[in-house]
């Protein structure tokens, strides 16, 4: 009997070791700070001092489109999009970007070899249709060979992407805190949130710093959002005085208490004590500006709930923040042809270097 117990115990230990090894080797473990490869063509032009720059930031929701996209993470019944939908939306997203003609594009939720989007490389698909963006940088923030969640059951790969018409100098990935209430196994398979910091040289002046990010969702009941905002603030405060920077992305946070009071769906997604965005939106200028949201919030809504059959924008969670050293000419949330393409609307800013 003792021998049998020893054998069973040994088998259990071996199984646990094998399982732990599989979990670790099949998931993504980026460093806290790491360099990211920059892709430039040899003759990529350089930004110039005094130049007017147009930047667009957009969560493209892995090219799923804004129809039949009530997925499991919002308690929805819809399956992942079919291959034809992914291809069609990718073309339409590229066409929309081409029509807006920004100099730089910050994209969130771009899939790369993910089962849910039929193992397509969406970065390359966009680049093929947007050859004017001769420079780009990309970094994963969700990557695993297989996620055993019953609604996923496959490979995941999702990226932050920066597309630029102008030469990129260097790029850095800076990790953000994981959801602090996740257990150790869940944390391996979950998203690894980050800031993608990109520097563009400017002829005759200091460089332009761009930061692309996508903060956690479904993290309430923990201090995750507070930690991530604190990390962003720390990074911005570490930049040289007078540095010219722009940060865009999906922050998954409401702008103020009035927005929280007006929002009735899925209140558990947000902090009843007040938005964790306060330190950021009260310190730095933004598109949309807090004063504009307080005056008339509706034109600044950036998100459309999949629970609404009419897909009406109903809250602001996407922002562009920028350095006071920049001369901003204009900024807005774009609607029109963008509405059918993603559950998020793009935010755009124009400024002079």
Total residue length of the chain:
353
Question: In this structure, what DSSP letter does residue 121 have?
Answer: B
167 plus 305 within the same structural domain = yes
pLDDT band with cut points at 50, 70 and 90 for residue 74: confident
143 plus 22 within the same structural domain = no
| pLDDT, position 80 | 97
Tell the residue number behind the tokens 């953000």, with chain if given.
Answer: 176
Got the DSSP string for 164-208? ESS---EEEEEE-PPPTTS-HHHHHHS---EEEEEEEEEETEEEE
pLDDT band with cut points at 50, 70 and 90 for residue 262: confident
111 plus 184 within the same structural domain = yes
Q: Give the tens place of pLDDT for each residue, 14-71.
A: 788 888 888 898 999 999 999 999 999 999 999 999 999 999 999 999 999 999 999 9
Q: Are strands 244-250 and 313-315 parallel, antiparallel or unpaired?
A: unpaired
pLDDT band with cut points at 50, 70 and 90 for residue 266: low
168 plus 88 within the same structural domain = yes
Per cent of the chain over pLDDT 70 is 99
Tokens encoding 339:
């509405």
| pLDDT, position 129 | 98
Tell the residue number behind the tokens 């509706």, with chain if given.
Answer: 298
Q: CATH no. for residue 205?
A: 3.60.10.10
152 plus 24 within the same structural domain = no
| pLDDT, position 8 | 76
Q: Give the tens place of pLDDT for each residue, 88-122.
A: 999 999 999 999 999 999 999 999 999 999 999 99
Give the integer Cα–Cα distance in Å for 164 and 202.
13
Do 61 and 215 contact (CB within 8 A), yes or no?
A: no
214 plus 336 within the same structural domain = yes
| pLDDT, position 2 | 76
Q: Which of 262, 266, 258, 276 is nearest to 222 (CA)?
A: 276
| pLDDT, position 290 | 95
Question: In this structure, what DSSP letter does residue 43 have?
Answer: T
What mean pLDDT do residues 149-165 have?
Answer: 96
Give the integer Cα–Cα distance in Å for 280 and 257.
15
59 plus 16 within the same structural domain = no
Do 38 and 135 contact (CB within 8 A), yes or no?
A: yes
Q: Give the tens place of pLDDT for each residue, 305-343.
A: 998 889 999 999 999 999 999 999 999 999 999 999 999
Question: In this structure, what DSSP letter does residue 271 have?
Answer: -
> CA-based angle 108:281:264, to the nearest 5?
75
| pLDDT, position 337 | 96
Tell the residue number behind the tokens 């901003």, with chain if given.
Answer: 328
160 plus 189 within the same structural domain = yes
Q: Which uninterrupted H or E stretch holds 23?
A: helix 2-25
Number of structural domains, the chain?
2
The domain of 56 spans 31-352
Q: Give the tens place of pLDDT for each residue, 176-202.
A: 999 999 999 999 999 999 999 999 999
Q: Which of 119, 96, 120 is nearest to 107 (CA)?
A: 96
Question: Within 10 A of 67 (CB to CB), how many other CB atoms are there?
Answer: 16
């Amino acid at each position: 009997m003792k021998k049998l117990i020893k054998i069973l115990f040994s088998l259990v230990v071996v199984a646990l070791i094998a399982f732990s090894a599989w979990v670790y080797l099949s998931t993504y473990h980026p460093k806290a700070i790491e360099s990211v490869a920059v892709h430039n063509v040899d003759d990529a032009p350089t930004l110039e001092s005094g130049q007017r720059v147009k930047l667009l930031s957009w969560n493209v929701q892995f090219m799923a489109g804004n129809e039949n996209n009530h997925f499991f993470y919002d308690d929805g019944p819809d399956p992942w999009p079919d291959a034809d939908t992914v291809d069609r939306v990718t073309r339409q997203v590229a066409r929309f970007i081409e029509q807006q003609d920004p100099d730089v594009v910050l994209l969130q939720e771009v899939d790369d070899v993910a089962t849910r989007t039929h193992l397509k490389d969406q970065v390359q698909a966009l680049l093929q249709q947007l050859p004017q963006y001769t420079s780009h940088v990309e970094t994963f923030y969700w990557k695993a060979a297989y996620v055993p969640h019953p609604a996923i059951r496959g490979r995941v790969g999702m990226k932050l992407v920066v597309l630029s018409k102008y030469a990129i100098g260097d790029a850095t990935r800076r990790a953000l805190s994981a959801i602090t209430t996740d257990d150790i196994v869940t944390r391996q398979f979950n998203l690894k949130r980050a800031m993608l910091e990109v520097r563009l040289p400017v002829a005759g002046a200091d460089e332009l710093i761009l930061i692309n990010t996508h903060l956690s969702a479904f993290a309430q009941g923990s201090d995750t959002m507070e930690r991530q905002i604190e990390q962003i603030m720390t990074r911005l405060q570490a930049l040289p005085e007078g540095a010219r920077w722009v940060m865009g992305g999906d922050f998954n946070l409401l702008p103020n208490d009035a927005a929280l009071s007006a929002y009735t769906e899925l209140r558990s997604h947000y902090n009843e004590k007040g938005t964790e965005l306060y330190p950021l939106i009260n310190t730095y200028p933004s598109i949309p500006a807090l004063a504009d949201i307080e005056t008339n919030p509706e034109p600044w809504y950036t998100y459309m709930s999949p629970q609404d059959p009419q897909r009406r924008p109903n809250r602001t969670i996407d922002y562009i923040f920028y350095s006071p050293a920049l001369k901003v000419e204009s900024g807005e949330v774009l609607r029109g042809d963008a509405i059918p393409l993603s559950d998020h609307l793009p935010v755009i800013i124009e400024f002079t270097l």
